[in-house]
Chain A
Amino acid sequence: ETGVTQTPRHLVMGMTNKKSLKCEQHLGHNAMYWYKQSAKKPLELMFVYSLEERVENNSVPSRFSPECPNSSHLFLHLHTLQPEDSALYLCASSQDRGRGLGYTFGSGTRLTVV
């Protein structure tokens, strides 16, 4: 399998649930990202993991918790979410952060919080 794979594709969860999103990249890239995409808004960077550093967007609530066990796998752990967290969550990877080579995106997880 090639590219960036995200699972699950769709997720419906209650506000008291705990769930995890998974992302796997088969491109040999060194940086991985979580983005949130909401209607009519630019993509919002949530977290970055690269060989050099982990970067967090300070505006992301603590109910979102990332985990990057190795350069090919990225998780987003979710707990006690709010309805406004419903969105498309996109994982992306790049060869590195600074060389202007762009991202490869996964297909996303459509999250609905009820």
Chain B
Amino acid sequence: EDQVTQSPEALRLQEGESSSLNCSYTVSGLRGLFWYRQDPGKGPEFLFTLYSAGEEKEKERLKATLTKKESFLHITAPKPEDSATYLCAVQAGNQFYFGTGTSLTVIP
């Protein structure tokens, strides 16, 4: 069964404390893996798309990587404004599969 699993469910970091979020997937025929940021009461905001193993994308303090089984979202020296829920989704064919997200809190 196609599935997307994100871990951890919640993460608390001190400001400046780097860490990584994980998204593991079991789908056939990956067309793309997507990372979104979602603030409370708002819709998900697109961050990155990764298409093939070995690919990396960066944006400010965020870096996304992809292997054949999982993706990591690395957060370097996070700031309080990075606090949000980070969602991972994969596309296989015409189907999108979402994870349940990682809630990140960055403490000043």
The total number of A-B Cβ pairs within 8 Å is: 54
The range of chain B's interface size is: 20 to 34
Shortest Cβ distance from residue A11 to the other chain B in the assembled complex, whole angstroms = 13
> Which A residues from 18 to 73 make CB contacts under 8 A with B?
40-43, 45
CA distance A106 to B46 in the complex (A): 11
The range of chain A's interface size is: 20 to 34
Interface SS majority for chain B: strand
* A108 contacts B43, C-beta separation under 8 Å: yes
* B34 contacts A102, C-beta separation under 8 Å: yes
CA distance A108 to B99 in the complex (A): 18
* B43 contacts A105, C-beta separation under 8 Å: yes
Question: Can you add 18 more A-B contacts, CB < 8 Å, to A41-B100, A100-B49?
Answer: A42-B97, A43-B87, A43-B89, A98-B31, A99-B31, A100-B91, A101-B49, A102-B34, A102-B49, A102-B91, A103-B89, A105-B36, A105-B43, A105-B44, A105-B45, A107-B43, A108-B42, A108-B43
